[in-house]
Every structure is written in C-alpha cells, then in structure tokens.
Structure 1
C-alpha cells in the first residue's frame, strides 16, 4: 500500500516552520526558515515555503516525489490580504491536497485540539483567535502600527519614541532611553535613517530591552509595559465576552508579559494542548487524536 504523509506549515512574520509526519502522526522531519508573512509577496513567500518543505524532506531523508502523496495544511500570516489566496491557488504545489488558513487559526486549532477556545498571540504582533460553536473569528491583528497592541513591535515603538523625546530634552533620560539611543550613537539622524527601513520585526527586537528595564524598575519602561498589559487584559476580557470557554496565551512575548497581568486574569488562562504546527497538521487532515 502506498504510504501517505502529512505536512504542517506555520508561516509567520518571524519564521517559517514545517513538520512532516506519517499517517500515524509520527514526526519524520522538520524545517525552519526565515519570515514568510504574505506581505513579502507571493514569489518570495513561495520560495520560503519551498525551502522549509525541502528542509523537512531532507531531515526525514525522503525524496520530493513523496509530496504527491502528502496532505498539507498551511497557516500563513497575512493570508487574509486581498489577492494572497488567489496567488497561492495559482501556484503549482505538487501535493495530494492543500488547505490554507491564517497562522492564528492553526495556532488556535493546536492549542485546543480543534475544540472551541481562544488564544491571544503576543509576539512580533498581536491577535486573538477565537472558535465558538465551531466558527472561527479573529479580534485585532490588523497590522503594525495601527494595531498589534501589547506586542513586541508596539513595545519597541514606544521605546524608540521615548528615546527620541529624551534626546530632545522633552522628557527625562532613563536607563531605557539611553540603552535605546545607544543603538543609534545617540544621534537622531541615525535613528531616523533606521526608522525609514525598520520592519515590525526590527521594532520587536527592542522589546526584550524594554522588559529587562521594566523588571529593573525603570519608570518609563514600566509605564510602557503596564500600558501593554492593559491592552492584553482588554483582549482577554473581550475574548470571554465573545463566548470563548477558555483562553491560552501564546507567542514569544507571552511569558514575559504574563507576570504583569492581574491575578484574576491569569486565573482564567489555560495552558495550550499543542502548538501551531499541531494545528496545521489537523488542517491537513491528520487525525486530531494522533500524537503530534
């Protein structure tokens, strides 16, 4: 009997991950590449996806011909943008089948094993993904800088603003402002040149610095983090108001922001059952009871 395979892909703003399994859910190979947000364009997105898939196949020591027997689930950041799905549909992927969703949808599927529930992703950006009565919908996540409250990019943007104001003398210099402006040699023209090219990921790279200084007691850093925590609190309140039975925090920034939330908020949170790639494999058609 010809063996079937399942491939899950999580294509986000920071990286693209792939996980290849057999029909029993046993992991055979994985791949990791760079950013794969739909903003980079269909051609660049396809190249990144192909690279992640090739790495997973190589890790599994399988030939590309098995892709014709592989069922694929892809969660792609920004796939809701106009024309992205059409662009992907026009590509010539050699898969047995392929299903697409946003990266937040597969993360929510993985977190709750396909059941009703919600997640709040706090990473480079932020978005709440909810499933109620089997219906999926998102809250927020419209993109930086108009959205993504409580995210790493939002923290970084606030820190850069503070550093520039401190250099102007419009606000007091603090250890945080000095640490941020030091990246630009304390020169405003260099900061402006950086901002002209900076991506959300570049701003998010400053977030750990903000968190470190907030934990150390820097007054401005604390105010930035407290503001982010308030946005997170409101996200979680809205999630439950919209009917979700539970909520899990996910994303690289989540562990650092969690201690800044109120105890009553933390008490309402649960731990995710699985990750986004688990959800992508469910999207591909892998039995949710399989050990992924």
Structure 2
C-alpha cells in the first residue's frame, strides 16, 4: 500500500486505575483498532501508567496494520490523576515517540465523548465518583478527591459502607443485615474477623466488588443497604443539580454503577439526563483534533 507523506492517525487514550482503553482512527474518524491494556493512573504509579499507555498504543497499532508507524500518530490522552499539577507535568514531560501528544484529564475526555461537544456535563459513578461540566469556555469539577476521602456514591464507597455495616452489626451496634451473609458468601468466609483479615490491604478496586451485593440487598428491602444507596444516590443527585446550575446544556451518567444508581436518585434529575453519545476514548480523539486545529 502506498501511503501519503501527510498521512496521520488519531489515537485516543482513556487511562484509569484499572485499565487503559485505546482507539486508533483515521482522518474520517473511522475506527481502525481498539485495545485494552493495564492500569494507567500516573498518580498511583507513573511508570506503570506509561507502560500501559505505550503497550496499548503499540498493540492497537499492530491490530490496525500500523506497526512502526507511531511517528504518524496524533495522540489525545485523558488520564486519571493528572488533575494534580505535579502529576500532569510529569506525564507532559514524557519523551514519547508520537508525532504529537495532547494531555488532559479522564473527566474532560469523558465529557467530550458523552456529548461530542465542549458543552455538557457528566456524573461519573464507577469504581470512583465525581462530576464535571464545561460551559462557555469554563469548567467545573466536583469531587475527584480519591478513595477513601472522596468517591461517595461510587462502587468502592458502596463496598466500604457495606463492610462497615456488617462489622457494626456483628458488634450489636447496628441492626442485623443480609449484607453479612452476602459478603460471607462472596469472600468464602464464615466470620467477620475473616472479613477484617481480607480487607487489611484492600484498595478501591477490592471494595468495589461488593457494590453488586449492596444493590442486591437494597432491592430486597434490607435496611442497612437501603441507607447506603440512599445516601450515595442523594450525593450524586446533588452533584447533578450543581452541574446543571453551572450551565451545562446536556447531562450524562457514566460508570459501572451509574445505571443501578439511577433508580435511587432524584427522578427530576434523571429526567434531565441523556445517554452518552460516544466513549471517553473517542472524546480523547476529539480533544487531540481540537488542539491540532488551534495549534
């Protein structure tokens, strides 16, 4: 195949604490390849993040038949953790092999992808949680403080509260809850002291695995589980209303627990919510294209 010297390819990278999603597109924004690699949160581990990004792009390039063509790649990267200026600078200083590379937060690309526009807002409710909006060249970030200090309404927060409820119930300081049996079964343990042992070095991903049990118990009317989801849903609803008050024209919810949370959130807010138009990695491509056109 004869390729033009002006040939270029757009690469979108969505990097988070559990995985890195990569898409390669041509000038017509047709998808040439997708790939998912490992964790890519530079705040948690800079070296691991760079390795995951590099591997993801390299493997996607192979799938697209573009191996050794990385000098033609214009990369947009939206990464968790780069909202911290120190971390942003560390990643921005990376001597990468690409034609050009444009860096922003994972929230920014999620918003761009969800609305295919610089005007809109997202409530993220996955392993972590936060809110982000752009309006009239201004932006608003709510939360993004990380687990366990923040991330209320997230999968990790739900799991943490489930464990707390089970341990309080075991001490007779909280009513009995079906979460006890559900966590025993999931962890294959028979006592609360074994749960304590399991969580000694637990991170947000570990706690997030219990979120499904919280929703299961809540749907069956368990008092402890209902208290947890009601508290988390109220927080996410408050975030949503604040984003709309900021002036966002369109609101979307994304993340692994977002669909389950909608049932418990303020239904007036949910009536305002729209389905995401596209993925965060597509938003990363849009971010790169916008920067290339203005540079």
C-alpha distance in structure 2 between counterparts of 1:55 and 1:189, whole Å: 44
8 Å contact 1:163–1:178 — kept in the other structure? no
Q: Please, which runs of 5 or more residues in structure 1 have no aligned partner? A: 288-292
Asked if structure 2 preserves the Cα contact closer than 8 Å seen for 1:113 and 1:273, the reply is yes
The offset of 1:10, in angstroms, is: 0.2
Q: 2:69 is paired with a residue of what secondary structure? A: helix
Does the alignment pair 1:150 with 2:158?
no
**What is the aligned partner in structure 1 of residue 255 from structure 2?**
251
1:1-292 matched pairs, under 5 angstroms: 1-2=4-5, 3-63=7-67, 65-182=68-185, 183=187, 185-285=189-289
Once the two structures are superposed, what CA deviation does each residue of 1:89-124 show, in whole Å capped at 9, x if it has no partner? 332211111011110100001111123110101100
CA distance in 1, matches of 2:11, 2:265: 36
Q: CA deviation at 1:170?
A: 2.0
- Report the alpha carbon displacement of residue 286 of structure 1 after superposing the two structures with TM: 6.8
Gapped regions of structure 2 (runs ≥ 5): none
| SS class of match (2:200) | helix
The Cα of 1:190 is off from its aligned counterpart by 3.1
* TM-score, normalised relative to structure 2: 0.92
Residues 1:134 and 1:140: Cα distance change in structure 2 (over 3 Å): same
Root-mean-square deviation over aligned CA pairs: 1.7
Shift of 1:184: 6.2
Q: Secondary structure at the match of 1:197?
A: coil
Task: Please give the alpha-carbon distance, in whole angstroms, between the structure 2 residues aligned to 1:20 and 1:286.
Answer: 16
1:290 alignment partner in structure 2: none
Once residues 206 and 51 of structure 2 are traced to their aligned partners in structure 1, the CA distance between those partners, rounded to angstroms, is 22
How many residues are treated as equivalent by the alignment? Answer: 286
Change in Cα spacing, 1:46 to 1:248, as seen in structure 2 (3 Å) is same
Contact between 1:5 and 1:69, CA under 8 Å: does it hold in 2?
A: yes
Using the alignment, how far apart are the partners of 2:273 and 2:64 within structure 1? 36
Q: Secondary structure at the match of 2:22?
A: strand
